[in-house]
Each structure stands twice: as structure tokens, then as C-alpha cells.
A and B are shown apart, each in its own frame.
Chain A
Amino acid sequence: METISHTPDPWTGLRTLTEARIALGRTGGSLPTAEVLDFRLDHAAARDAVLTPFDPTALADEILALGTGVFTVTSAAANRAQYLQRPDSGRQLSAGSRAALTDFAAGRPPVDLVIIAADGLSTQAVRQIVPLLRGLLPALQGAGWELAPVIVASQARVALQDEIGNLLQARLSLILLGERPGLGSADSLGAYFTWAPRPGRSDAERNCLSNIRAAGLPPAAAAVRLFHLLTESRRRGLSGTSLKDETPLPGLQHRRD
């Protein structure tokens, strides 16, 4: 078999300085086969993360096993295609879920926090949720927080936390959901929280921890950071840019997606 060698780039060593795809080499002026396929593989993983169906029952079972209550809802997005084209549909509950959650909330006292575990744009990122809750729930319970059952939500956008938090009379609403997958980071989870959640809250009124994944901010570390941030948010009675501006905590970001 004849060997066709491509032209390598002599600056391969510089790859340690950046995650960017430099020094890929070339055949003629084009990408070598291995690089074409490597890119395709990463893109395929990202596409699968967006499109693989979310299994809310499996996630609910795992969360129940942590010893907390669970309530399952769906957004108004009828399917994945609608979810992707109509972000507004993912920001509100389906009629059925709204009725069920309203019934559930009737006669119950307000809570400090509702945590929402959701698919978002990456169903692969959902795997970070249980490890994160394993750290966060005991910390909150130990500090005397009144918690609503964990809400497992399908086809959810960040702002779904507003309607859910409002229905449950929660002081704070925290949603954990898959971020838009990047190449090579298809399983990245985002965490967004909002003080006094109610429909119409703007993104400037939220805070965000992003890139929660083993190779980024590990779920256990994210749990520690979230606990401190939520505590600070509750103490000061606010969230969003003002929390960001006055509390220089590492990893705290303003929402950017």
C-alpha cells in the first residue's frame, strides 16, 4: 500500500498554548483526512447532545434516590424542533403542567428555593445534575433552607424558572440545564438563579455559573460555589448584575447565552 504523507506544521508544540485547532497540517492546502474526521466526530457529539431525547423519568428516579421529592413538568414546546425555533415556548409551562403545579402549590407555604433540573440544549449535560445535587442539597438542608421538591423539566429554557418559581412562591429559583454544546464540550451544564422569580424577569436579573463538567468546573465544586452564591443572594435579597458587581466571587458570571 502506498503511503501518502501530508505536510505537517513545524509549530505543533504551540498547541499547548491554546485549545484552538492550530498546526493541523495539510494535504495540498486542505485538511488531512484524520482532521476532517476528528472535527466531524466532535460535531456529531454536539448534535447528538442537542437532539438525543431527554429521559425525565430516569433523572427523576435518580433524584428521588437522593432522598428528596420530585415533580415532573414539561414546557410549552411540543417537540425538539419547536423548542429550537421558538425559544418562547421553552420559557413557559405547558397548560397541563401549569394546572398540575398550581394544584400542587395550593395551600402550601412559600419556600426559600426551588431547584429545576432540565434538559436545555444538551441532554448529555444532564449527567452533571445528580453529582451537583449530591453536594448542594445536603448543604442547603444543613443550613435550614426550606426547599420545594426538585422540578424535573423537559424542553426548558432558562426563563422557565420564572414561572415555576412564581407558582411555588419561591424566594429563589435555580435552574440547572444543558448549555449550547461546543465542539469538544457537548456535556456542559449551566446553572442560573433568580431572586424573586416571576414571569418577565430579564437576563440582567439572573446570575450564572457555566461550563459545569468534569473538564471545566466539576459538579462538586460547582455545588460549593452555588451554595455560597445562593446564600449571599438570599442574605441581600437580590440577584443579577448587582450581585455580580459587589461580590467578586470566582466563577460568577453574568448570563451571556
Chain B
Amino acid sequence: MTHRFTHGRTTFTFPDLATLMARASPRRSGDELAGLAAASAEERVAAQVCLAEVPLTRFLEEPLIPPEQDEVTRLILDRHDLAAFAPVGGLTVGQFRDWLLRYETDGTVLTALAPGLTPEMVAAVSKVMRQQDLILVASKIRKVTRFRSTLGLPGTLAVRLQPNHPADDPRGIAASILDGLMYGCGDAVIGINPATDSPSSYHELAGLMDRLITEYHIPTQSCVLAHLSTALRAMEAGAPVDLVFQSIAGTEAANRSFGIDLALLREARAAALSLGRVPPGGQVMYFETGQGSCLSAGAHHGIDQQTLEARAYAVAREFDPLLVNTVVGFIGPEYLYDGKQIIRAGLEDHFCGKMLGLPMGCDVCYTNHAEADQDDMDTLLTLLGTAGCNFIMGVPGAADVMLGYQSTSFHDSHYLRQLLGLRPAPEFAAWLETMGIMQDGLRLQPAGPHHALVAPQLQALAASPN
């Protein structure tokens, strides 16, 4: 179906829904790289005007990627809940935006609606929304998940402690974990990106975190962010695995390029649940996503990167994750060029994920070849805090020495928690209080070298300096 809009003497035409979605997407370098972006600012808004007129039901009738080609499309259509969709079933994309912003549309309504929405509907409405809309609507939605800590409760902000080391050195990693815990971070997860993706390395790192969590009774969970297949092998070998990690994307072909499919994700989740480490009803999966991953894998099917990112969330929600993290600026300036594009993308991803019922967090980050700096990250961090983001990253000094990019720091989490009165997960806040690290979940306490967490590492260092 062709979409047309005339403005002055110019008529803009969009031959199909996929083209319309791509042309309506706010400007970003990745869509330009893929040759999908609007050719002018006016064409972009013309596409948004046309998109606002599209009935939501159209997305059920015209799948952007044919189901026979793509298991993610099949998953989206199979799982679509018509009864849940009913409250908005008669609306266009533009009317849907208006409906979302009504006072009556509260968190309860939106939570009930989530199974009735497809990623394409959510991506479409985000394209006609301003940033304040993305923030306001997302802030209405809470998604609570549990392992040893309870995440996503109102008034809380959790932090993933990211203690990476370029050689996976256990003492170097332990030092960064200590730094994070003493700064009150780590309630979302202690999650290590290993430099080496091998079962033995996985086992060693998982063991290190497990011993620490057990010895100090830390109400948190651990994760080694290796490939799913490595986690499966490590679990078979008896590694103490809390969360299983995987990078996921919005098309079957992109997921295959990551070496996974839905069946493998199902198998890994079942394996993690069978270990019996998670309390009943809790979650065991940790997913990471990011706009541009399908294009990067040569698997984008002519669909814009923001819509594909939303489709990755349909994959995520199938597996009831504890954490979903959009690593928004990691991919580089060929996908998100500058601070403005990164900020918009971060808010879109958080909104789309929350609308689809996910416990969304964000790695607020950038690389050194992007036109961005810490000030841009402060802006996105602040906006995500107001939008009710479940968790952020905590990297020592914001600089990841293994992955070579900049994220948010332990100090940044204190900024946001102070500013917005957000506390850690309740179990973790109580532990911090017991350990004399933080008072009332907001204020760090002075700690000396004899602190129970600090002293053992200092003693080990004195005994064996290298």
C-alpha cells in the first residue's frame, strides 16, 4: 500500500510500510549507511505524518519481514494477544500516541496492554513521539524482576557492577568488584565481560563471583557475559551460574550470525532454571541489545535500525529476563553519530522495551570516535533516571579497560540516586547498611582499611604484591 503526503508543491510517496517506517525514523547515521533514511528533513516529517495515519492493525496484516523468512516474525505473530490489544485495536499510530499520554493511561493499563503490542507498533509510535513523550510514558511503567535482589521497584535504581579486566586477571577483577561494592553498586548483577570466551575461563570467573557472594551474603547475582554455548558447557561442567547472558537482535539472520536461535535460548534458560539457584518465580536471563546490530551483521532486511531493535525485545520477552540492557553507544558513529543520536536512541530503546513489558536498563555509553562526551552521557543518564530506567552500568571511573569505551561510573550512580532520591534494590540497600557502606541507601559512609571487604584484599596484596 502506497502512502502519500503533499506539502506545498512537493508530494512525498512511500511505497510500503517498511519504507515508511525507515523514512519516519529520527535521523541516524546507521539508517543513512543502510540507504534507508529520509533524504531530507521534510521527507522525514512527511513520513511521520503518514505513519500517524496508519491503523495499528496494519502491522498485524503487513509484517515487515515475512514470517516464512524469519522466526522472530513468527514469534511476534504467534504471541500476539488480541484480547490485550483490544483497548487500542481501533486506533491509528497518531491516536495511539495521544492515548498513551492520557492521565487515565496508567501503569496498570500499560502493563495489561503489553502482550497486545508488537514491536513494530511500539517502534512506530515512538517515531512520532518527542523525547518528553518517551520519558513520560515509560515512567508510568514498572517492571519488577527478582533473583537474590528485587529489581525495578518504584523509587529504586539498580547498578550492574562491570569489573572487566583485559586479561581476566582474578585479582584485578576482584579489586574492581571491591571498588564497586564499596560505592554501593552491584545490586542488578555483578557482570564480567570475559576477554577470553572459553568454558574454563567462564568457570573460573563464575566461581570467583560465587565465592564472594556466598562469603559476604551479598544479595545480588553474578553473570559471565560469554556466549550462550559457553555458558551451557560451563553449566554442564558444574559452574555456579546465576544468570545466562546473550546478545540478541531483531532478525533470525542476525541472531544466527551471533550463533544463536530461539531454540538455543530456550535450552539455555531451561538449563539455568534447572540449577535451582534462582528463587521460585525468579528470572535467570540477561540480554544485551543495541541499535545497528542487524545492519552490522548484514541481516537487516531493509528495515530501519530502531524498528529492528524493538523486535529484539520480542525475542527478550519470550524468555522472561531479569535484565535487558541496551548498549546504546557502543556500536560506534557509523550507527549513532553523536550525542544527540545516542540520547534519542537510548530513550527510544528504554520506552520500547518498557512498553513490551521488559525490565529495561541502559548502558549509557560512547566510543572515542563518536561525537560525544561525558556531558552527553550525563544528559542521557539524567533523562533515563526520570524515565524510570531499571538499571545502569557501573564501571570504575566510567572507562572500561577491556572493551575500550566509556560508560557510566559508580560515582555517576550516586549523582542520579541523590538527584532523584532513588535507592538500591531493598535487599541490597539493607546489606549496604549492615556492612556500613551506605546509610539510608543514599549516603556513602567513610570506610577504613579494616573494613571487612577491604582488609582481605589489602592483606593479600601485602603478602603477594604481584
Contacts and interface: CB of A to CB of B under 8 A. Distances in A.
A141 interface: no
B413 to A, nearest CB: 8
A24 B397 contact: yes
Interface in B191-210: none
**Range of interface residues on B (Cβ < 8 Å):** 35 or more
Contact of A180 (B176, B368, B451): B368
Interface string B11-45: 00000000000000000010011000000000000
A182 interface: yes
Contacts of A15: 175
Interface string A19-52: 1111110101111000100011011001101100
Contact of A14 (B164, B183, B417, B457): B457
Interface string B441-466: 00110111101001001100100011
B334 interface: yes
A18 interface: yes
Interface stretch (B310-318, B350-358, B399-407): B399-407
A22 B175 contact: yes
Contact of B451 (A10, A18, A35): A10
B398 interface: yes
B166 interface: yes
A183 B369 contact: no
A40 B406 CA distance: 12
A23 B177 CA distance: 11
A121 B419 CA distance: 37
Contacts of B447: 9-10
Contact of B369 (A30, A35, A180): A180
A116 B281 CA distance: 58
- Interface centre among A10, A19, A20, A47, by most B CB within 10 Å? A20
Given A11-B458, A14-B457, A17-B169, A183 B175 contact: no
Contacts of B397: 20-22, 24, 35, 39
B178 A86 contact: no
A9 B448 CA distance: 8
B373 interface: yes
B425 to A, nearest CB: 18
**Range of interface residues on A (Cβ < 8 Å):** 35 or more
Contacts of B367: 180
B95 interface: no
B179 A23 contact: yes
B148 to A, nearest CB: 24
A181 interface: yes
A87 interface: yes
Contact of B368 (A9, A10, A19, A47): A47
A17 B368 contact: no
Interface in A47-95: 47, 49-50, 84-88
A16 interface: yes
A86 B33 contact: yes
Contact of B396 (A20, A29, A42, A46): A20
B279 interface: no
Contacts of A42: 399
B33 A14 contact: no
15 contacts: A7-B444, A10-B454, A11-B175, A13-B461, A14-B457, A18-B172, A20-B165, A22-B178, A24-B411, A29-B411, A30-B411, A47-B373, A50-B368, A85-B32, A85-B337
Interface of A: 7, 9-11, 13-24, 26, 28-31, 35, 39-40, 42-43, 46-47, 49-50, 84-88, 121, 180-184, 186
Ranked 10 nearest A-B pairs via Cβ: A21-B397, A29-B414, A18-B172, A22-B179, A46-B368, A14-B175, A10-B449, A20-B396, A182-B404, A85-B29
Given A10-B454, A24-B397, 19 more contacts: A11-B179, A14-B178, A16-B465, A17-B169, A18-B169, A20-B397, A22-B396, A28-B418, A29-B411, A39-B398, A39-B399, A40-B374, A46-B368, A50-B368, A85-B333, A85-B337, A180-B367, A180-B369, A183-B406
